[in-house]
Amino acid sequence: MFPRVLFSGTCRLPEFNSMDLAVDVIDSPARMRELSDTFREAAPPLGLVPTMGALHEGHLSLIRRAVSECASAVVSIFVNPAQFGPGEDLDTYPHTFEKDLEVCREEGVSAVYAPSVGQMYAKGFDTWVEVPSLASGLCGPCRPGHFRGVATVVAKLFSACKPDRAYFGEKDYQQLVLIRRMARDLDMGVEIVSCPTVREKDGVAMSSRNVNLRREERENSRSLSRGLFRARELLGEGEARAAVLIQAAREELTKACVEIDYVEVVDSETLAPLETVQGSCRMVMAAKIGATRLIDNISLVP
């Protein structure tokens, strides 16, 4: 059944006059497919950077890479209500649409795909994409339906934009792994390009939700990266037991009095929990600071 929140939120697309912009703004899947065909025929490859807007330096790192590596680059801006659950921050998610368009123009983006909720989810919509094995752990239990919404909207973005490459940040690591699996399993023909997490000077991972943090909460948010870096430091000293690394990271979060959701060491591809750091793995964590839920992760190499 379609999530009730999909139609109850105030997700909105600000009014704009595309004639005043130096970047094409496309608001329908059909028009986007036509333009994508034009781009691909003129000069491949075509790159896509999916976003929910409120663009920051993390997004810009993806956009700049797409622009530098592809003949044409499309940025999608769509706050996807299907990935928000009841009580989450759909209504308060930051909207900076006009500013985002200006950023895209300055960065040389070929087009912005900004469909409305009605365009993406017509009345009676009832088709979903799921990757159960990768959505069941980590953020999955506390955000039921979230990754189904993510996989579905990304599949729809791929269908409309028809990219050769799609760029995703490693900060949302579970999402990245899930989308890579979906693209592979469904033979979508899209190369999923992962890009390193961009951090503030104090180590905090850039996120559109950081603007919701009060001054004290912003200070406490540093505990996530401190915990990750402490675990990596211990690994460099020879400590490979996951339980010890997790405890060290949790201590940093506890000292900041944040509400810990999880801290785990997982396999980089399967996201299965590990007891010992070996091969390719990551430490992943989520914590709630005030009313804001933040995630972060770091690679661990023995």
User: Tokens for 97?
Assistant: 């649409």
User: Tokens for 280?
Assistant: 């390719």
Active-site position among 56, 59, 95, 146: 59
Triad 80, 84, 88: Cα angle to 5°: 135
Q: Which of 267, 31, 291 is nearest to 137 (CA)?
A: 267
Look up residue 57 and give its DSSP letter: H
Distance of CA 127 to the CA centre of its chain: 22
Look up residue 92 and give its DSSP letter: T
Active site residue 146: no
H helix or E strand, kind and range, residue 288: strand 281-289
Where do we find the tokens 């993406």? 120
Triad 39, 40, 46: Cα angle to 5°: 85
Q: Where are the alpha helices (DSSP H) in 211-291?
A: 215-220, 222-236, 242-255
Percent helix / strand / coil, the chain, rounded to 5: 40, 20, 40
Question: Alpha-carbon distance 85 to 90, whole Å?
Answer: 8
Look up residue 262 and give its DSSP letter: E
DSSP class per residue in 103-136: HHHHTT-SEEE---HHHHS-TT-------HHHHS
Where do we find the tokens 């330096």? 57
Question: Alpha-carbon distance 228 to 283, whole Å?
Answer: 7
Catalogue the active-site residues: 59
